[in-house]
Structure 1
């Protein structure tokens, strides 16, 4: 059977008004690095090899990534972001990172799970977990 895993690149369409908070959160709180920045797009590296692009509203990124066409629809509403995918953040010190995230002032979600679920600037929902934590109960394995 073919094995499928999440790739190491993501692109998110976000409101332009959130750009400063997005940059502060991802750079200052989570320690990401800017790899490229343009008028309508920021590319960030998280850790050694995960890349996340923020597309600000209607910019299509074509000048940035030749041959790639991003959809030019409007951004999602705040409520629609909460219905979208939950992304997982792994950290070596869950309590320290939890405190930094909460202190930043994100929206914390009430989820019947012991992990911190929060909405980051730009609307993405994350679950915070430990790097050595056994998460097999979420994988549907017996």
Structure 2
């Protein structure tokens, strides 16, 4: 049987107006590094090997590098749609310190019946903050 795993690259369509907040949040709060910058796209490295691209609009610069990819701001989801789209897991070595930094930045905190922090980052992504060494096995097995 064929198997699949999640890769180490992601991309998100976002509004161009969020670019400055996205850069500040991902670099200053989460410690990511910008690896490539274009008129319509920023590529960030998170940790040692995860890459996330933010696609800001339809420009030529990023498309020339990533042939065949079309970036269009009008394709970005609304904030409300992002809240329903997907939760991504964000791991931190000091959860409480990272929680404080994230909340102090001014993200939208979501009320979820779970002890973890769920928040909407600039650009619309929803994250769940967990500890790097936290035992999350209860989320992996049947509880009924």
Into which bin does the TM-score normalised by the smaller protein fall? over 0.9
Aligned-pair RMSD on alpha carbons?
1.6
> Are residues 1:137 and 2:138 paired?
yes
TM-score of the pair, normalised by structure 2: 0.91
**TM-score using structure 1 length:** 0.92
Deviation string 1:104-129 (CA, Å, 9 cap, x unpaired) is 00000000000000000000000000
Match of 1:4 in 2: 4
- 1-structure distance, mates of 2:14, 2:58: 9
Segments of 5+ residues of structure 1 without an aligned counterpart are: none
Flag as ranges the 4+ runs of structure 1 deviating above 6 A. Answer: none
Please tell me whether the aligned partners of residues 14 and 55 of structure 2 are also in contact (alpha carbons under 8 angstroms): yes
Give secondary structure in 2 for the equivalent of 1:137.
Answer: helix
Aligned to 2:25: 25
Q: Is the contact made by 2:57 and 2:71 (CA closer than 8 Å) also made in structure 1?
A: no
Equivalenced residues, count: 141
Match of 1:106 in 2: 107
Residue in 2 that maps onto 1:48: 48
Residue 87 of structure 2 contacts residue 127 of structure 2 at CA under 8 Å; is this kept in 1?
yes
Which ranges of structure 2 fall in alignment gaps of 5 or more residues? none
Q: Which residue of 1 aligns with 2:65?
A: 64
Contact 1:58 1:74 in 2 (8 A): no
CA offsets 1:25-55 (integer angstroms, 9 cap, x no match)? 0000000001000000000000000000000
Q: What is the CA-CA distance between 1:58 and the residue it aligns to? A: 3.4
